Amino acid sequence: MILAPKAHTRTLWLAWLVTALTGCGYTTGLTLGPDYHSVGLEIFGNDTPEPDLELGLHRALTQATRNMLDARLVDPDRSQLVVRGRLTRFQRRAGLRSADNVWMEGGVWITAEAELVDPRRDVVIAGPVRAEANVGYARTNREAEPDARQRALNNLAERLVLDLFTGPAAGSSGSDPEAPTVE
pLDDT at residue 171 tops 60? no
Q: How far apart are CA 75 and CA 56, in angstroms?
A: 18
pLDDT at 27: 60
Select from 74, 84, 32, 57 the least CA-distant residue to 157. Answer: 57
Residue 107 has pLDDT above 50, yes or no: yes
The pLDDT tens digits for 22-32 are: 666 556 667 77
How far apart CA 128 and CA 171 sit, in angstroms, is 10
Closest CA relative to residue 79, chosen from 20, 19, 128, 36: 36
Rounded Cα gap, residues 161 and 30, in angstroms: 10
pLDDT in tens, 16-70: 777 766 666 556 667 777 788 999 999 999 999 999 999 999 999 999 999 999 8
Position 178 scores a pLDDT of 42
Q: What is the pLDDT of residues 111-154, one digit of tens each?
A: 999 999 999 999 999 989 999 999 999 988 888 999 999 999 99
The pLDDT, as a whole number, for residue 111 is 98
Looking at the chain, which runs of residues are DSSP E strands?
38-41, 45-46, 72-73, 81-94, 105-118, 123-138
DSSP state of 118: E
Q: CB neighbours of 98 closer than 8 A, spacing ≥ 6?
A: 104
How much is the pLDDT for 54?
97
| R_g of the chain, CA atoms, integer Å | 24
- Among residues of the chain, what percentage have pLDDT more than 70? 82
First to last CA, the chain: 54
| Whole-number Cα distances in Å, 153 to 36, 140, 156, 163 | 26, 21, 5, 15
**Residue ranges of domains in the chain, CATH in brackets:** 29-166 (3.40.50.10610)
Residue 21 confidence (pLDDT): 65
Average pLDDT for residues 82-110, to the nearest whole number? Answer: 91
Q: What is the mean pLDDT of residues 72-77?
A: 95
- Cα(81)–Cα(173) distance, integer angstroms: 21
pLDDT at 143: 86
